[in-house]
Amino acid sequence: MSILNQIIETKKTEIELNKKNNSFSDLERLKGFSRPVNSLSQSLQICKFGIISEFKRKSPSKSIINKNSNVNDVVKGYENAGASGISILTDEQYFGGSSKDLIIARENTKLPVLRKEFIIDEYQIIEAKGLGADAILLIASCLKKESIKSLSQFAKSLGLEVLIEIHNLNELNKCLIDSIDIIGVNNRNLKTFEVNIQTSKDLVEFIPKEFVKISESGLTSKKEIIELIDYGFEGFLMGENFMKEKNPGKAADNFINNLKS
């Protein structure tokens, strides 16, 4: 069983348990549910470099990345650095995240916040809204086209934006629907964990212009970002490159200032 399939099976059990502890009505009473949503897609489009800075403690491919960083400090550091958005991993078992991380992030930034999670159920979308997210992630490789459509439409009905992650042309073809705002090309092969930036370059020409286009995973240099901008990308999701440093906010600041120079 692939790591992605393992995560999805774990997620199914987790969702059923959460539903027993907190009803849909409970989630709708959370503080974040009634707040106005900030547009991640617009934030990316008005900035030349469109960096979505990510907070994550570990990953299946790298194990522990940074177990000591404080969400509050990192998020403030990312905003001060000039990021266009914040991505928060909320999966606990595989990425060391939590819903509390998203709540703290929301309280400490005015930037759009993406809930990065393995979403397979509407419950998780209502939860995202209640926690204060502005956008959700859907992963095409673990969803059928019908689920992509229904989940993205449900998110839009709550005012949330939708980023969908793809790895190949077949996955892209499942996602060309008007309830998707942002299409992200993940450069990491989820079966082998190998990273190849060429994946973004190969797929971008097939993404229609009405979608905001971002590249994800394995981005480490100014040269790569400039090249991908030339290919038509409007945003870049970066986590490990910042989180591996003692001060992720400072690392993001140095990187973004270097891009501007």
Whether 216 is a known active-site residue: answer yes
Q: Which DSSP symbol is given to 176? A: -
Q: Comparing C-alpha atoms, which of 188, 177, 184 is closest to residue 147?
A: 177
Of 127, 165, 171, 240, the catalytic one is 165
From the list 217, 234, 240, 241, the catalytic residue is: 217
Which of 11, 116, 129, 213 is flagged as catalytic?
A: 116
- Report the distance separating Cα 140 and Cα 127, nearest Å: 20
Q: Which of 99, 186, 187, 200 is catalytic?
A: 186
The string of DSSP codes covering 24-85 is HHHHHTSGGGGSPPP-HHHHHHTSSS-EEEEE-SEETTTEES-SS--HHHHHHHHHHHT-SE
DSSP H helices, 82-221, are 99-107, 122-131, 145-157, 169-173, 198-203
**87 belongs to the catalytic site:** no
Q: Is 122 a catalytic residue?
A: no
DSSP state of 9: H
Contact of 164 with 143, CB cutoff 8 Å: no
Whether the Cβ atoms of residue 87 and residue 237 lie closer than 8 Å to each other: yes
The residues, any chain, with a CB within 8 Å of residue 193's CB and separated by 6 or more, are 60, 61
Q: Could you confirm whether 116 is annotated as catalytic?
A: yes
Active site residue 186: yes
Selected catalytic residue, list 11, 43, 56, 129: 56
Residue among 11, 41, 43, 54 flagged as catalytic: 54
Active-site residue, from 79, 117, 171, 216:
216
**Catalytic site positions:** 54, 56, 116, 165, 186, 216-217
